[in-house]
Amino acid sequence: DGMVMTTNKDEIVCHEMIYHVVLNTHPNPKKVLVVGGGDGGAIREILKHSSVEQAVLAEIDGRVIETSKEYLPEIAGSLDDPRVDIQVVDGIEYIHQHKAMFDVIMVDSTEPIGPAVGLFEKGFYQGIYEALKEDGILVAQTESPWFNGELIKRVFKDIQAIFPITRLY
């Protein structure tokens, strides 16, 4: 579609900032879910935390995973780790089928167009709340604040209506 999703040069800025903050905030993250993130960068960063026993990747497009392994091995190299469970599924459906299972859920989605629109809706965040354990934490990438400020405000408001503690960083 002509849009740049990731590059080897700058991906670390996004992946480190989003994922290490939440994994260092949770007291003992053992089971982590990534919705989207087929490039593997989130999984790579998650596996740097020794407490993580399982990292589930719920990616709707298997081609993203295979293409990333072929062309972006620096990012996708950890997808073959035995702690990784790759599910080529719709992440929205996946969370609704897995109640109270995850310590941390991370949303690493594309722009809110096409099949990703549902990843920015209140019902999706309610499903995440139900898929988390009692002390679970959600982190969601919601686009650039310089280009999508209104989207971020709406998502924050939706999440704040569901989760007892909500922070924007």
Residue with tokens 């790759």: 86
* Whole-structure pTM value: 0.88
For the question of residue 81 being annotated catalytic, the response is no
- Catalytic residue chosen out of the listed positions 1, 10, 85, 108: 108
61: number of Cβ within 10 Å: 13
pLDDT at 1: 59
For residue 168, what pLDDT band results from cuts at 50, 70 and 90?
confident
Q: Encode 47-67 in three state secondary structure.
A: CCCCCCCEEEEEECCHHHHHH
CA angle, 29 then 42 then 168, to 5° = 75
Residue 83 has pLDDT above 80, yes or no: yes
> Model confidence over 108-160: pLDDT tens digits?
876 666 667 777 789 899 999 999 999 999 998 776 666 667 877 888 899 99
Give residue 75's identity as a one-letter amino acid code: I
The two structure tokens encoding residue 14: 């996004």
Residues 13, 108, 157, 159, Cα dihedral to 10°: -120
For 72, phi and psi rounded to 5 degrees? Answer: -130, 55
